[in-house]
């Protein structure tokens, strides 16, 4: 069963705009990770945030985590056409990861 739920399911923006995706989960976690998947390909790890962290940055990515609300957000700033992909959050408590259904991001040039 899937643990996380991403919102929105689909997002379409213009190049240069910011994109925000949200993830909600149900149980306690050790960490939360965000992955990107280009169409029909494997997943690429973007960023990991641990349960005792509240915010993390990596390049144009900013992730926040609110464990009291069991939610996380991924912000992509100054989006590019190459950011078009599906984005998944994944949580783990012990040793297995649970993915949400993803947000499909389309960045129009």
Partner 1 sequence: DTGVSQDPRHKITKRGQNVTFRCDPISEHNRLYWYRQTLGQGPEFLTYFQNEAQLEKSRLLSDRFSAERPKGSFSTLEIQRTEQGDSAMYLCASSLAPQGSPEQFFGPGTRLTVL
For partner 1, give the closer residue by CB, 35 or 74: 35
Contact residue for partner 1 among 13, 43, 61, 93 (CB under 8 A): 43
The span from the CA of 74 to the CA of 87, in Å, is 9
Peptide bond into 99 cis (omega under 30): no
In the three-class reduction of DSSP (H, G, I as helix; E, B as strand; rest coil), residue 41 is classed as coil
Structure tokens at 36: 């990107």
Minimum distance from residue 16 beta carbon to partner 1 (Å): 28
- Does 44 bind partner 1 (CB under 8 A)? Our answer is yes
Query: CB of residue 8 vs partner 1: minimum separation in angstroms?
Result: 14
Site for partner 1 in 56-75 (CB under 8 A): none
Q: Does the protein bind partner 1 through residue 88 (CB under 8 A)?
A: yes
Q: Does position 22 bind partner 1 by CB under 8 A?
A: no
**CA distances, 92 to each of 25, 33, 57, 73 (Å):** 10, 9, 20, 16
**What is d(CA 25, CA 80) in angstroms, rounded to the nearest whole number?**
28
Q: Which residues bind partner 1 (CB under 8 A)?
A: 1-2, 4, 30-31, 33, 35, 41-45, 48, 88, 90, 92, 95-102
């Amino acid at each position: 069963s899937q643990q996380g739920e991403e919102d929105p399911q689909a997002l379409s923006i213009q190049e240069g705009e910011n994109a925000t995706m949200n993830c909600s989960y149900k149980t306690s976690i050790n960490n939360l990770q965000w992955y990107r998947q280009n169409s029909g390909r494997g997943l690429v790890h973007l960023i990991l945030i641990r349960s005792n962290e509240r915010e993390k940055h990596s390049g144009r990515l900013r992730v926040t985590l609110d464990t009291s609300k069991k939610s996380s957000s991924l912000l992509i700033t100054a989006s590019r056409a190459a950011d078009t992909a599906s984005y998944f959050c994944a949580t783990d408590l012990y040793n297995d990861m649970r993915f949400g259904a993803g947000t499909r991001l389309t960045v129009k040039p």
